[in-house]
């Protein structure tokens, strides 16, 4: 078990460009979460998947953001027409599916996006 | 709205116990209490969680008040590697992080 991995670790892009991030969860973890963290703040929930189904999206997830988890394995987060306000650390986490909701989430190292 | 209240910062000396408090007075019956910590430039790391009873694991202990309106994370012997931002989260599924407590550990 190598933990949650994210790629790339860093991304610098120009305003208006599209970017895509990838997250590989811990194998057999049914749930996958995306969070965003800006400097000095705690992470903010964006969206989560249970297997391939996207079950919840935050209001923070504007129309420019889209996430997918084909086949219930890895997930991608795409941001279209990036804006400077999108600059942040994008974190992915996974957790097993079990009784109730009291399961820990395992976070990846994050992808740091800088929009110039 | 993180719905938990934590001190902005706390300090400790190495090898001394640390008690990190958290208030969650509006917690619902199904919310778990989670603690995560985050070192600089890393993703959050799970520490411990519980529902009603006190919990212990290799990293820490979690003491939950009988009315569940507050909890305390206990690090039994702080080390320099425990210096981090500690987040107390009431959660049913997704995690809603607040500002957390910045823990400084002095050698």
pLDDT in tens, A37-71: 999 899 999 999 999 999 999 998 889 999 999 98
Q: Which residues of B touch A100 (CB under 8 A)?
A: 30, 32
pLDDT tens-digit series, residues B9-65: 999 999 999 999 999 988 888 888 999 999 988 999 999 999 998 999 999 999 999
- Pick from B44, B85, B93: CB nearest A107: B44
- Pick from A43, A44, A102: CB nearest B51: A102
Give yes or no for residue B3 having a pLDDT over 90.
no
A26: closest CA of chain B, how far (Å): 14
What single DSSP character describes residue A6?
Answer: E
Find all residues with CB under 8 Å of A19, minimum gap 6, and list them: A11, A13, A78, A79, A82, A113
A61: closest CA of chain B, how far (Å): 15
Six-digit token pair at A55? 């079950």
Q: For A96, which residue in chain B has the nearest alpha carbon?
A: B93
DSSP three-state, residue B65: coil
């Amino acid at each position: 078990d190598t933990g949650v991995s994210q790629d790339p670790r860093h991304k610098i892009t120009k305003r208006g460009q599209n970017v895509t991030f990838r997250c590989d969860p811990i194998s057999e973890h049914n749930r996958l979460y995306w969070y965003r963290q800006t400097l000095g703040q705690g992470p903010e929930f964006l969206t989560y998947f249970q297997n391939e189904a996207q079950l919840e999206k935050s209001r923070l997830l504007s129309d420019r953001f889209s996430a997918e988890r084909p086949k219930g394995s890895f997930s991608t987060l795409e941001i279209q027409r990036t804006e400077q306000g999108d600059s942040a650390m994008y974190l992915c986490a996974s957790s097993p599916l079990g009784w109730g909701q009291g399961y820990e989430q395992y976070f990846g190292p994050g992808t740091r996006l800088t929009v110039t | 709205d993180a719905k938990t209240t934590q001190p902005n910062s706390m300090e400790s000396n190495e090898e001394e116990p640390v008690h990190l408090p958290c208030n969650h007075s509006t917690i619902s019956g199904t919310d778990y209490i989670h603690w995560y910590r985050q070192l600089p430039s890393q993703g959050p790391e799970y520490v411990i969680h519980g529902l009603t009873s006190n919990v212990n694991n290799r990293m820490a202990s979690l003491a939950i008040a009988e009315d569940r309106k507050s909890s305390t994370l206990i690090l039994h012997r702080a080390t320099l590697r425990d210096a981090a931002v500690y987040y107390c989260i009431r959660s049913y599924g997704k995690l809603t992080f607040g500002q957390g407590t910045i823990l400084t550990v002095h050698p």
